[in-house]
Structure 1
Amino acid sequence: MGDSTTLHVEFAGEHYVVSPDTVFAIGRTGDLIVDDNPYLHRRFLVLRQVGDLWWLENVGARIAATVSDFSGTVQAVLAPGGRLPLGFDAMHVVFGAGSTIYDLRIRSDRPALRADELDADDSDLHDGETTIGVVSLSPPQRLLLVALSENILRLIDGGRGGIPSSAEASARLGWTLAAFTRRLDYLCQKLERAGASGLRGEKGQLATDRRMRLVEHAVATRLVTRDDLILLQRVPVRSDLQPE
Protein backbone atom coordinates (compact mmCIF):
# COMPACT_ATOMS: atom_id res chain seq x y z
CA MET A 1 0.00 0.00 0.00
CA GLY A 2 2.84 2.35 0.86
CA ASP A 3 3.01 5.75 2.53
CA SER A 4 1.21 7.52 -0.33
CA THR A 5 -2.09 5.77 0.29
CA THR A 6 -4.96 7.98 1.41
CA LEU A 7 -8.50 7.06 2.41
CA HIS A 8 -11.71 8.81 1.39
CA VAL A 9 -14.63 8.67 3.83
CA GLU A 10 -18.14 9.54 2.59
CA PHE A 11 -21.13 10.15 4.84
CA ALA A 12 -24.41 11.96 4.15
CA GLY A 13 -22.99 13.81 1.14
CA GLU A 14 -19.82 14.91 2.97
CA HIS A 15 -16.35 13.81 1.87
CA TYR A 16 -13.30 13.50 4.12
CA VAL A 17 -9.74 12.83 2.97
CA VAL A 18 -7.69 10.87 5.51
CA SER A 19 -3.94 11.22 4.98
CA PRO A 20 -1.33 8.58 5.86
CA ASP A 21 -0.20 8.52 9.50
CA THR A 22 -3.41 10.30 10.52
CA VAL A 23 -5.69 8.96 13.27
CA PHE A 24 -9.27 9.70 12.16
CA ALA A 25 -12.03 9.41 14.80
CA ILE A 26 -15.72 8.80 14.06
CA GLY A 27 -18.60 9.14 16.51
CA ARG A 28 -20.58 11.76 18.43
CA THR A 29 -17.37 13.79 18.51
CA GLY A 30 -14.18 13.54 16.48
CA ASP A 31 -13.14 14.18 12.90
CA LEU A 32 -16.44 12.84 11.56
CA ILE A 33 -19.43 13.68 13.76
CA VAL A 34 -22.15 11.37 12.49
CA ASP A 35 -24.92 12.41 14.90
CA ASP A 36 -25.68 13.74 18.38
CA ASN A 37 -27.48 10.47 19.14
CA PRO A 38 -26.95 9.80 22.89
CA TYR A 39 -26.84 6.05 22.19
CA LEU A 40 -23.75 6.57 20.01
CA HIS A 41 -20.26 6.59 21.56
CA ARG A 42 -18.34 9.87 21.56
CA ARG A 43 -15.46 8.00 19.91
CA PHE A 44 -16.76 4.89 18.21
CA LEU A 45 -14.54 4.04 15.23
CA VAL A 46 -10.96 5.00 14.47
CA LEU A 47 -9.04 4.82 11.19
CA ARG A 48 -5.35 4.29 11.74
CA GLN A 49 -2.45 3.30 9.49
CA VAL A 50 -0.12 0.65 10.92
CA GLY A 51 2.80 -0.23 8.70
CA ASP A 52 1.51 -0.51 5.14
CA LEU A 53 -2.11 -1.20 6.10
CA TRP A 54 -4.98 1.00 7.16
CA TRP A 55 -7.04 -0.46 10.01
CA LEU A 56 -10.55 0.26 11.26
CA GLU A 57 -10.77 -0.05 15.04
CA ASN A 58 -13.88 -0.19 17.22
CA VAL A 59 -12.94 1.79 20.32
CA GLY A 60 -16.49 1.83 21.71
CA ALA A 61 -17.77 -0.25 24.60
CA ARG A 62 -21.19 -1.50 23.44
CA ILE A 63 -21.91 -1.07 19.72
CA ALA A 64 -20.68 -3.33 16.91
CA ALA A 65 -20.28 -2.31 13.27
CA THR A 66 -20.81 -4.39 10.15
CA VAL A 67 -18.10 -3.93 7.52
CA SER A 68 -18.21 -5.28 3.96
CA ASP A 69 -16.66 -4.79 0.55
CA PHE A 70 -18.98 -3.06 -1.92
CA SER A 71 -19.93 -6.34 -3.59
CA GLY A 72 -21.17 -7.70 -0.25
CA THR A 73 -19.08 -10.84 -0.75
CA VAL A 74 -17.03 -10.37 2.42
CA GLN A 75 -18.71 -9.15 5.58
CA ALA A 76 -17.35 -8.88 9.11
CA VAL A 77 -18.86 -7.89 12.44
CA LEU A 78 -16.46 -5.52 14.18
CA ALA A 79 -17.13 -5.88 17.90
CA PRO A 80 -15.95 -3.45 20.60
CA GLY A 81 -12.18 -3.73 20.91
CA GLY A 82 -11.84 -5.35 17.48
CA ARG A 83 -10.05 -4.15 14.37
CA LEU A 84 -10.08 -4.93 10.66
CA PRO A 85 -7.70 -4.18 7.78
CA LEU A 86 -9.14 -1.90 5.10
CA GLY A 87 -7.51 -3.42 2.07
CA PHE A 88 -10.31 -3.26 -0.51
CA ASP A 89 -10.89 -0.34 -2.87
CA ALA A 90 -14.29 0.47 -1.34
CA MET A 91 -16.04 -0.66 1.84
CA HIS A 92 -19.39 -0.15 3.57
CA VAL A 93 -19.52 0.42 7.33
CA VAL A 94 -23.02 0.01 8.76
CA PHE A 95 -23.95 0.35 12.45
CA GLY A 96 -26.93 1.13 14.63
CA ALA A 97 -27.46 3.14 17.81
CA GLY A 98 -30.83 3.40 19.50
CA SER A 99 -33.39 3.17 16.69
CA THR A 100 -31.16 4.80 14.05
CA ILE A 101 -28.91 3.06 11.56
CA TYR A 102 -25.86 4.65 9.89
CA ASP A 103 -24.12 3.89 6.60
CA LEU A 104 -20.73 5.32 5.69
CA ARG A 105 -18.34 4.42 2.87
CA ILE A 106 -14.54 4.20 2.89
CA ARG A 107 -12.51 4.18 -0.31
CA SER A 108 -8.79 3.58 -0.80
CA ASP A 109 -6.48 5.05 -3.45
CA ARG A 110 -4.47 1.86 -3.69
CA PRO A 111 -6.26 -1.25 -2.34
CA ALA A 112 -4.00 -3.97 -1.01
CA LEU A 113 -6.44 -6.91 -1.03
CA ARG A 114 -9.03 -8.66 -3.15
CA ALA A 115 -12.12 -10.24 -1.63
CA ASP A 116 -10.72 -13.73 -2.23
CA GLU A 117 -7.57 -12.86 -0.28
CA LEU A 118 -9.33 -12.42 3.08
CA ASP A 119 -9.48 -15.79 4.82
CA ALA A 120 -12.27 -16.02 7.36
CA ASP A 121 -10.00 -18.13 9.58
CA ASP A 122 -6.97 -15.81 9.38
CA SER A 123 -6.82 -14.26 12.85
CA ASP A 124 -3.78 -12.18 11.85
CA LEU A 125 -5.91 -10.12 9.48
CA HIS A 126 -9.00 -9.46 11.52
CA ASP A 127 -10.54 -9.54 14.96
CA GLY A 128 -14.22 -10.18 14.39
CA GLU A 129 -16.67 -12.58 12.79
CA THR A 130 -16.39 -12.76 9.00
CA THR A 131 -19.07 -14.13 6.69
CA ILE A 132 -18.40 -14.97 3.06
CA GLY A 133 -21.18 -15.73 0.60
CA VAL A 134 -24.82 -14.81 -0.01
CA VAL A 135 -28.16 -16.25 1.06
CA SER A 136 -31.09 -16.93 -1.25
CA LEU A 137 -34.27 -15.11 -0.21
CA SER A 138 -37.87 -16.03 -0.92
CA PRO A 139 -40.19 -13.20 -2.11
CA PRO A 140 -41.75 -12.68 1.36
CA GLN A 141 -38.32 -12.62 2.99
CA ARG A 142 -37.03 -10.04 0.53
CA LEU A 143 -40.13 -7.87 1.08
CA LEU A 144 -39.65 -8.03 4.84
CA LEU A 145 -36.01 -6.96 4.55
CA VAL A 146 -36.82 -4.12 2.16
CA ALA A 147 -39.55 -2.82 4.49
CA LEU A 148 -37.16 -2.78 7.45
CA SER A 149 -34.26 -1.34 5.40
CA GLU A 150 -36.27 1.19 3.37
CA ASN A 151 -35.04 4.33 5.13
CA ILE A 152 -31.35 3.47 4.81
CA LEU A 153 -31.69 2.15 1.24
CA ARG A 154 -33.13 5.49 0.10
CA LEU A 155 -29.89 7.25 1.07
CA ILE A 156 -27.75 7.90 -2.00
CA ASP A 157 -24.44 8.82 -0.36
CA GLY A 158 -24.80 7.09 2.99
CA GLY A 159 -26.05 8.79 6.13
CA ARG A 160 -28.62 7.97 8.79
CA GLY A 161 -32.08 6.41 8.75
CA GLY A 162 -34.60 5.11 11.26
CA ILE A 163 -35.64 1.49 11.70
CA PRO A 164 -39.42 0.94 11.68
CA SER A 165 -41.09 -1.01 14.44
CA SER A 166 -42.54 -4.43 13.64
CA ALA A 167 -46.02 -2.90 13.72
CA GLU A 168 -45.02 -0.18 11.26
CA ALA A 169 -43.26 -2.62 8.91
CA SER A 170 -46.13 -5.12 8.96
CA ALA A 171 -48.61 -2.33 8.18
CA ARG A 172 -46.34 -1.17 5.33
CA LEU A 173 -46.58 -4.65 3.81
CA GLY A 174 -50.25 -5.26 4.53
CA TRP A 175 -49.42 -8.23 6.76
CA THR A 176 -50.76 -8.97 10.21
CA LEU A 177 -48.28 -8.39 13.03
CA ALA A 178 -48.40 -12.10 13.85
CA ALA A 179 -47.50 -13.05 10.27
CA PHE A 180 -44.69 -10.47 10.18
CA THR A 181 -43.22 -11.73 13.46
CA ARG A 182 -43.40 -15.36 12.31
CA ARG A 183 -41.60 -14.54 9.05
CA LEU A 184 -39.04 -12.40 10.90
CA ASP A 185 -38.26 -15.28 13.27
CA TYR A 186 -37.82 -17.72 10.41
CA LEU A 187 -35.62 -15.34 8.40
CA CYS A 188 -33.37 -14.65 11.39
CA GLN A 189 -32.96 -18.39 11.98
CA LYS A 190 -32.10 -18.89 8.31
CA LEU A 191 -29.45 -16.16 8.32
CA GLU A 192 -27.93 -17.39 11.58
CA ARG A 193 -27.55 -20.85 10.05
CA ALA A 194 -25.72 -19.13 7.19
CA GLY A 195 -23.28 -17.48 9.59
CA ALA A 196 -24.87 -14.17 10.61
CA SER A 197 -24.75 -13.28 14.31
CA GLY A 198 -26.90 -11.35 16.76
CA LEU A 199 -30.25 -12.36 15.24
CA ARG A 200 -31.46 -14.83 17.83
CA GLY A 201 -34.27 -13.62 20.06
CA GLU A 202 -32.82 -14.16 23.51
CA LYS A 203 -33.95 -13.15 26.99
CA GLY A 204 -33.02 -9.55 27.65
CA GLN A 205 -32.50 -8.71 23.98
CA LEU A 206 -34.64 -5.83 22.75
CA ALA A 207 -36.69 -6.41 19.60
CA THR A 208 -35.18 -3.20 18.19
CA ASP A 209 -31.68 -4.66 18.56
CA ARG A 210 -32.56 -7.71 16.50
CA ARG A 211 -34.17 -5.67 13.71
CA MET A 212 -31.18 -3.33 13.73
CA ARG A 213 -28.72 -6.20 13.39
CA LEU A 214 -30.83 -7.71 10.61
CA VAL A 215 -30.79 -4.46 8.61
CA GLU A 216 -27.04 -4.01 9.20
CA HIS A 217 -26.40 -7.48 7.80
CA ALA A 218 -28.80 -7.11 4.87
CA VAL A 219 -27.46 -3.74 3.74
CA ALA A 220 -23.77 -4.56 4.24
CA THR A 221 -23.97 -7.86 2.37
CA ARG A 222 -26.28 -6.40 -0.31
CA LEU A 223 -29.00 -8.94 0.39
CA VAL A 224 -31.22 -5.97 -0.47
CA THR A 225 -30.27 -2.87 -2.46
CA ARG A 226 -31.88 0.35 -3.70
CA ASP A 227 -33.10 -1.59 -6.74
CA ASP A 228 -35.35 -3.63 -4.44
CA LEU A 229 -37.32 -0.57 -3.29
CA ILE A 230 -39.56 -0.99 -6.32
CA LEU A 231 -40.98 -4.10 -4.64
CA LEU A 232 -42.75 -1.90 -2.10
CA GLN A 233 -44.70 -0.24 -4.90
CA ARG A 234 -46.16 -3.62 -5.81
CA VAL A 235 -47.34 -4.57 -2.33
CA PRO A 236 -51.08 -5.36 -2.30
CA VAL A 237 -53.40 -4.06 0.39
CA ARG A 238 -53.21 -7.45 2.12
CA SER A 239 -50.90 -10.41 1.57
CA ASP A 240 -51.83 -14.07 1.40
CA LEU A 241 -48.18 -15.11 1.12
CA GLN A 242 -47.39 -18.03 3.41
CA PRO A 243 -44.24 -18.00 5.56
CA GLU A 244 -41.38 -19.85 3.91
Structure 2
Amino acid sequence: MTQHGAIGDGTLGIEFCGEWHHPVPGVTFSVGRDADLTVDTNQYLHRRLLAFDAEGELWWMSNTGQTISVSLATPDGAYQAVLGPGARVPLVFPQLAVMFSAGAYTYELAVRNDSASFTGRDLRAVQHEDDGTTTIGAVSLTPSQRLLLIALCEPILRGGMVGSSQLPSSAAAAARLGWPLTTFNRKLDNVCDKLDREGVQGLRGGVGKLATNRRARLVEHAILSRLVTAQDLDLLEVAATLGEKGTT
Protein backbone atom coordinates (compact mmCIF):
# COMPACT_ATOMS: atom_id res chain seq x y z
CA MET A 1 0.00 0.00 0.00
CA THR A 2 1.24 3.40 -0.91
CA GLN A 3 0.37 6.73 0.57
CA HIS A 4 -2.92 8.30 -0.50
CA GLY A 5 -2.74 10.92 -3.23
CA ALA A 6 -4.42 14.24 -2.69
CA ILE A 7 -8.07 14.36 -3.67
CA GLY A 8 -8.87 17.24 -5.94
CA ASP A 9 -10.78 18.17 -9.06
CA GLY A 10 -10.16 15.67 -11.83
CA THR A 11 -8.67 12.92 -9.67
CA LEU A 12 -11.71 10.69 -10.29
CA GLY A 13 -12.88 9.89 -13.81
CA ILE A 14 -15.95 7.88 -14.88
CA GLU A 15 -16.20 6.72 -18.49
CA PHE A 16 -19.38 5.65 -20.25
CA CYS A 17 -19.62 5.12 -24.02
CA GLY A 18 -16.32 6.92 -24.56
CA GLU A 19 -17.26 10.04 -22.59
CA TRP A 20 -15.44 10.96 -19.39
CA HIS A 21 -17.07 12.60 -16.36
CA HIS A 22 -15.11 14.05 -13.43
CA PRO A 23 -16.89 14.37 -10.06
CA VAL A 24 -15.94 17.34 -7.90
CA PRO A 25 -15.09 16.88 -4.19
CA GLY A 26 -17.91 18.14 -1.98
CA VAL A 27 -20.61 17.46 -4.60
CA THR A 28 -22.33 14.07 -4.99
CA PHE A 29 -22.15 12.72 -8.54
CA SER A 30 -25.02 10.40 -9.46
CA VAL A 31 -25.45 7.72 -12.13
CA GLY A 32 -28.76 6.30 -13.28
CA ARG A 33 -31.83 6.86 -15.47
CA ASP A 34 -32.22 10.51 -14.45
CA ALA A 35 -28.91 11.59 -12.93
CA ASP A 36 -25.73 13.58 -13.48
CA LEU A 37 -24.69 10.72 -15.75
CA THR A 38 -27.78 9.36 -17.48
CA VAL A 39 -26.84 5.97 -18.90
CA ASP A 40 -30.25 5.08 -20.38
CA THR A 41 -33.98 5.78 -20.19
CA ASN A 42 -34.58 2.09 -19.41
CA GLN A 43 -37.63 1.98 -17.12
CA TYR A 44 -36.09 -0.88 -15.12
CA LEU A 45 -33.08 1.25 -14.20
CA HIS A 46 -33.27 3.34 -11.02
CA ARG A 47 -33.36 7.10 -11.45
CA ARG A 48 -30.22 7.20 -9.32
CA LEU A 49 -28.35 3.94 -8.88
CA LEU A 50 -24.80 5.02 -8.04
CA ALA A 51 -23.37 7.95 -6.10
CA PHE A 52 -19.73 9.06 -6.00
CA ASP A 53 -18.52 11.19 -3.09
CA ALA A 54 -15.20 12.34 -1.63
CA GLU A 55 -14.91 11.81 2.10
CA GLY A 56 -11.70 12.43 4.00
CA GLU A 57 -8.86 11.16 1.84
CA LEU A 58 -10.96 8.71 -0.16
CA TRP A 59 -13.45 8.60 -3.01
CA TRP A 60 -16.47 6.38 -2.30
CA MET A 61 -19.00 4.68 -4.55
CA SER A 62 -22.45 3.98 -3.09
CA ASN A 63 -25.31 1.86 -4.41
CA THR A 64 -28.30 4.13 -3.83
CA GLY A 65 -30.77 1.87 -5.63
CA GLN A 66 -33.36 -0.39 -4.07
CA THR A 67 -33.21 -3.65 -6.05
CA ILE A 68 -30.19 -3.64 -8.38
CA SER A 69 -26.82 -5.02 -7.31
CA VAL A 70 -23.63 -3.66 -8.86
CA SER A 71 -20.57 -5.74 -9.73
CA LEU A 72 -17.08 -4.28 -9.73
CA ALA A 73 -13.59 -5.58 -10.38
CA THR A 74 -10.05 -4.50 -11.14
CA PRO A 75 -9.12 -4.90 -14.83
CA ASP A 76 -7.19 -8.11 -14.10
CA GLY A 77 -10.14 -9.62 -12.20
CA ALA A 78 -8.00 -10.17 -9.11
CA TYR A 79 -10.35 -8.08 -6.96
CA GLN A 80 -14.10 -8.48 -7.30
CA ALA A 81 -17.07 -7.37 -5.24
CA VAL A 82 -20.85 -7.16 -5.44
CA LEU A 83 -22.29 -3.95 -4.06
CA GLY A 84 -25.84 -4.45 -2.85
CA PRO A 85 -28.46 -1.73 -2.39
CA GLY A 86 -27.49 0.62 0.42
CA ALA A 87 -23.84 -0.47 0.46
CA ARG A 88 -20.77 1.58 -0.40
CA VAL A 89 -17.13 0.88 -1.10
CA PRO A 90 -13.95 3.01 -1.03
CA LEU A 91 -12.30 3.43 -4.43
CA VAL A 92 -8.77 2.42 -3.51
CA PHE A 93 -7.70 0.97 -6.89
CA PRO A 94 -6.46 3.05 -9.83
CA GLN A 95 -8.98 1.42 -12.18
CA LEU A 96 -12.24 -0.43 -11.76
CA ALA A 97 -14.74 -1.95 -14.17
CA VAL A 98 -18.32 -1.51 -12.93
CA MET A 99 -21.28 -3.50 -14.30
CA PHE A 100 -24.98 -3.64 -13.51
CA SER A 101 -28.08 -4.97 -15.24
CA ALA A 102 -31.62 -3.63 -15.52
CA GLY A 103 -34.22 -5.57 -17.43
CA ALA A 104 -32.64 -7.07 -20.54
CA TYR A 105 -29.70 -4.66 -20.63
CA THR A 106 -26.27 -4.74 -19.02
CA TYR A 107 -24.25 -1.54 -18.55
CA GLU A 108 -20.52 -1.07 -18.09
CA LEU A 109 -18.61 1.87 -16.66
CA ALA A 110 -14.90 2.43 -16.25
CA VAL A 111 -13.70 4.22 -13.12
CA ARG A 112 -10.21 5.76 -12.90
CA ASN A 113 -8.92 7.12 -9.63
CA ASP A 114 -5.66 9.06 -9.78
CA SER A 115 -5.59 9.34 -5.99
CA ALA A 116 -5.84 5.55 -5.46
CA SER A 117 -3.72 3.90 -2.81
CA PHE A 118 -3.43 0.34 -4.13
CA THR A 119 -1.95 -1.08 -7.30
CA GLY A 120 -3.20 -4.17 -9.08
CA ARG A 121 -1.26 -7.23 -10.14
CA ASP A 122 -0.65 -8.91 -13.45
CA LEU A 123 -3.38 -10.90 -15.15
CA ARG A 124 -3.73 -14.35 -13.71
CA ALA A 125 -2.30 -17.13 -15.79
CA VAL A 126 -4.78 -19.18 -17.75
CA GLN A 127 -3.84 -22.84 -17.95
CA HIS A 128 -5.16 -25.29 -20.55
CA GLU A 129 -5.34 -28.79 -19.10
CA ASP A 130 -4.77 -32.00 -21.06
CA ASP A 131 -8.46 -32.94 -20.84
CA GLY A 132 -9.48 -29.77 -22.69
CA THR A 133 -10.82 -27.88 -19.70
CA THR A 134 -9.83 -24.29 -18.98
CA THR A 135 -8.70 -23.48 -15.46
CA ILE A 136 -8.88 -19.91 -14.16
CA GLY A 137 -8.23 -19.72 -10.47
CA ALA A 138 -10.20 -22.58 -8.92
CA VAL A 139 -12.84 -22.78 -11.68
CA SER A 140 -12.53 -25.41 -14.43
CA LEU A 141 -14.81 -25.15 -17.47
CA THR A 142 -15.52 -27.83 -20.03
CA PRO A 143 -15.38 -26.67 -23.67
CA SER A 144 -19.19 -26.57 -23.93
CA GLN A 145 -19.52 -24.62 -20.66
CA ARG A 146 -17.04 -22.10 -21.99
CA LEU A 147 -18.98 -21.81 -25.25
CA LEU A 148 -22.15 -21.13 -23.27
CA LEU A 149 -20.48 -18.23 -21.47
CA ILE A 150 -19.08 -16.83 -24.71
CA ALA A 151 -22.55 -16.92 -26.30
CA LEU A 152 -24.13 -15.08 -23.35
CA CYS A 153 -21.31 -12.51 -23.23
CA GLU A 154 -21.01 -12.04 -27.01
CA PRO A 155 -22.68 -8.58 -27.21
CA ILE A 156 -20.31 -7.18 -24.56
CA LEU A 157 -17.25 -8.94 -25.96
CA ARG A 158 -17.94 -7.59 -29.45
CA GLY A 159 -18.82 -4.08 -28.31
CA GLY A 160 -16.02 -3.80 -25.79
CA MET A 161 -16.33 -2.65 -22.21
CA VAL A 162 -17.84 0.69 -21.27
CA GLY A 163 -21.31 1.03 -22.75
CA SER A 164 -24.61 -0.83 -22.80
CA SER A 165 -25.41 -4.24 -24.25
CA GLN A 166 -28.60 -6.26 -24.57
CA LEU A 167 -28.47 -9.56 -22.73
CA PRO A 168 -29.35 -12.44 -25.08
CA SER A 169 -32.20 -14.70 -24.05
CA SER A 170 -31.47 -18.37 -23.41
CA ALA A 171 -33.28 -19.22 -26.64
CA ALA A 172 -31.17 -16.77 -28.65
CA ALA A 173 -27.90 -17.98 -27.11
CA ALA A 174 -28.90 -21.62 -27.71
CA ALA A 175 -29.72 -20.85 -31.34
CA ARG A 176 -26.36 -19.06 -31.72
CA LEU A 177 -24.62 -22.26 -30.67
CA GLY A 178 -26.92 -24.61 -32.58
CA TRP A 179 -28.00 -26.30 -29.35
CA PRO A 180 -31.48 -27.40 -28.30
CA LEU A 181 -32.85 -25.06 -25.63
CA THR A 182 -33.09 -27.98 -23.17
CA THR A 183 -29.37 -28.65 -23.61
CA PHE A 184 -28.52 -24.98 -23.12
CA ASN A 185 -30.62 -24.72 -19.95
CA ARG A 186 -29.09 -27.88 -18.50
CA LYS A 187 -25.57 -26.61 -19.11
CA LEU A 188 -26.53 -23.16 -17.77
CA ASP A 189 -27.67 -24.86 -14.55
CA ASN A 190 -24.37 -26.76 -14.36
CA VAL A 191 -22.25 -23.62 -14.82
CA CYS A 192 -24.28 -21.67 -12.26
CA ASP A 193 -24.07 -24.54 -9.75
CA LYS A 194 -20.30 -24.79 -10.26
CA LEU A 195 -19.71 -21.07 -9.72
CA ASP A 196 -22.14 -20.97 -6.81
CA ARG A 197 -20.04 -23.62 -5.08
CA GLU A 198 -17.03 -21.33 -5.61
CA GLY A 199 -18.84 -18.56 -3.75
CA VAL A 200 -20.12 -16.45 -6.67
CA GLN A 201 -23.27 -14.66 -5.51
CA GLY A 202 -26.59 -14.36 -7.31
CA LEU A 203 -26.50 -17.58 -9.35
CA ARG A 204 -28.68 -19.82 -7.21
CA GLY A 205 -32.24 -20.27 -8.47
CA GLY A 206 -35.37 -20.30 -6.36
CA VAL A 207 -38.42 -18.26 -5.53
CA GLY A 208 -38.03 -14.65 -6.61
CA LYS A 209 -34.89 -15.38 -8.65
CA LEU A 210 -35.76 -14.50 -12.24
CA ALA A 211 -33.92 -16.33 -15.02
CA THR A 212 -32.92 -12.98 -16.53
CA ASN A 213 -31.34 -11.87 -13.25
CA ARG A 214 -29.33 -15.08 -13.00
CA ARG A 215 -28.05 -14.79 -16.58
CA ALA A 216 -27.14 -11.15 -16.01
CA ARG A 217 -25.15 -11.98 -12.89
CA LEU A 218 -23.40 -14.81 -14.73
CA VAL A 219 -22.42 -12.46 -17.56
CA GLU A 220 -21.13 -9.83 -15.13
CA HIS A 221 -18.98 -12.38 -13.31
CA ALA A 222 -17.67 -13.98 -16.52
CA ILE A 223 -16.62 -10.60 -17.95
CA LEU A 224 -15.15 -9.10 -14.79
CA SER A 225 -13.27 -12.25 -13.77
CA ARG A 226 -12.05 -12.75 -17.36
CA LEU A 227 -13.50 -16.23 -17.61
CA VAL A 228 -14.09 -15.23 -21.24
CA THR A 229 -12.50 -12.47 -23.31
CA ALA A 230 -12.84 -11.06 -26.82
CA GLN A 231 -10.14 -13.48 -27.96
CA ASP A 232 -12.60 -16.33 -27.33
CA LEU A 233 -15.08 -15.13 -29.97
CA ASP A 234 -13.38 -17.21 -32.66
CA LEU A 235 -14.38 -20.33 -30.72
CA LEU A 236 -18.00 -19.24 -30.93
CA GLU A 237 -17.76 -18.79 -34.69
CA VAL A 238 -16.23 -22.24 -35.11
CA ALA A 239 -18.94 -23.84 -32.95
CA ALA A 240 -21.71 -22.09 -34.84
CA THR A 241 -20.22 -23.11 -38.20
CA LEU A 242 -19.83 -26.73 -37.22
CA GLY A 243 -23.27 -26.86 -35.63
CA GLU A 244 -21.92 -27.79 -32.21
CA LYS A 245 -24.62 -29.69 -30.31
CA GLY A 246 -23.37 -29.11 -26.79
CA THR A 247 -21.23 -32.21 -26.36
CA THR A 248 -18.49 -32.12 -23.75
Residue 11 of structure 1 contacts residue 157 of structure 1 at CA under 8 Å; is this kept in 2? no
How many pairs align?
Answer: 228
Does residue 223 of structure 2 align to residue 219 of structure 1?
A: yes
Residue 134 of structure 1 contacts residue 221 of structure 1 at CA under 8 Å; is this kept in 2? no
Deviation, 1:114, is 3.4
Residue 178 of structure 2 contacts residue 245 of structure 2 at CA under 8 Å; is this kept in 1? no
Does residue 203 of structure 2 align to residue 199 of structure 1?
A: yes
Does residue 118 of structure 2 align to residue 113 of structure 1?
A: yes
Q: Which residue of 2 aligns with 1:14?
A: 19
1:84 to 84, 89, 110: 89
Distance in 1, matches of 2:79 and 2:119, equals 10
Does residue 190 of structure 2 align to residue 151 of structure 1?
A: no
Residue 7 of structure 2 contacts residue 58 of structure 2 at CA under 8 Å; is this kept in 1? no
Deviation, 1:226, is 1.6
Q: Which residue of 2 aligns with 1:190?
A: 194
Segments of 5+ residues of structure 2 without an aligned counterpart are: 122-136
Aligned residue for 2:52, secondary structure, equals strand
Q: Percent identity?
A: 48
Distance in 2, matches of 1:73 and 1:99, equals 27
Q: For 1:228-243, list aligned pairs within 5 A.
A: 228-235=232-239, 236-243=241-248
Distance in 1, matches of 2:245 and 2:237, equals 17
Q: Which residue of 2 aligns with 1:175?
A: 179
Deviation, 1:94, is 0.4
Please, what TM-score do these two structures have when normalized by structure 2? 0.86
Deviation, 1:157, is 5.0
Structure 1, residues 20-72: CA drift from partner, whole Å, max 9, x if none? 33311000111110000000000100011111111110000000000111111
Distance in 1, matches of 2:177 and 2:152, equals 10
Does residue 102 of structure 2 align to residue 97 of structure 1?
A: yes
Q: 1:144 to 1:92 in 2, by over 3 A?
A: same
Distance in 2, matches of 1:30 and 1:91, equals 21
Structure 1, residues 205-225: CA drift from partner, whole Å, max 9, x if none? 221111111111111222112
Distance in 1, matches of 2:110 and 2:146, equals 24
Segments of 5+ residues of structure 1 without an aligned counterpart are: 117-132
Give, as a single letter, the amino acid of the residue that structure 2 aligns with 1:147. A
Aligned residue for 1:218, secondary structure, equals helix
Give, as a single letter, the amino acid of the residue that structure 2 aligns with 1:55. W
Q: Which residue of 2 aligns with 1:166?
A: 170
Distance in 2, matches of 1:230 and 1:49, equals 43
Aligned residue for 1:202, secondary structure, equals coil
Give, as a single letter, the amino acid of the residue that structure 1 aligns with 2:116. P
- More off after superposition, 74-83 vs 148-157: 148-157
Distance in 2, matches of 1:220 and 1:36, equals 25
Q: Which residue of 2 aligns with 1:123?
A: none
- More off after superposition, 184-193 vs 22-31: 22-31
Deviation, 1:237, is 4.1
Give, as a single letter, the amino acid of the residue that structure 1 aligns with 2:68. I
Q: 1:40 to 1:230 in 2, by over 3 A?
A: same
Distance in 2, matches of 1:115 and 1:194, equals 22
Deviation, 1:242, is 3.0
